[in-house]
Amino acid sequence: MLSSEDIGKLNEIQRLLDEAYANYFEKDPEGYCKSSEGAVTVSFGTFFDRRAGYLDIKFVDIYSYVFGPDRLNTYKTTDEALAAVTEWHKQEMARDYAKEDEN
């Protein structure tokens, strides 16, 4: 079953992504991005995965050209996805755009 804990983690993933993107687009004069930025997709698997009568997250995909090691980043759990997005957020919020502009 999809737990309230997983729903909370997914909400936090979205919140952190939105805050990091807002910072990026506000401060980066170029603002390179793709139209699918920040898309979060949750897979509950196939019919065969669900036929036991409950939802179970099979993976979480996060699309980000701006953040992350790949454009499409796939995680097996909400914990893994949240840990990655937390790190992306931390790096973005600590980024010193003014210093980069000097170079």
**Where exactly are the structural domains of the chain?**
4-102
Report, as an integer, the average pLDDT of 73-98. Answer: 95
* Long-range contacts, 34-40 (Cβ 8 Å, 24+): 34/63, 34/65, 34/71, 36/63, 36/65, 37/63, 37/64, 37/65, 37/66, 38/14, 38/62, 38/63, 38/64, 39/63, 40/10, 40/13, 40/14, 40/81
**Looking at residue 103, what is its pLDDT?**
64
Q: What is the pLDDT of residue 13?
A: 98
Instruction: Kindly tell me if the per-residue pLDDT of 47 is higher than 90.
Output: no
Average pLDDT of the chain to the nearest whole number: 91
Over residues 42-46, mean pLDDT: 89
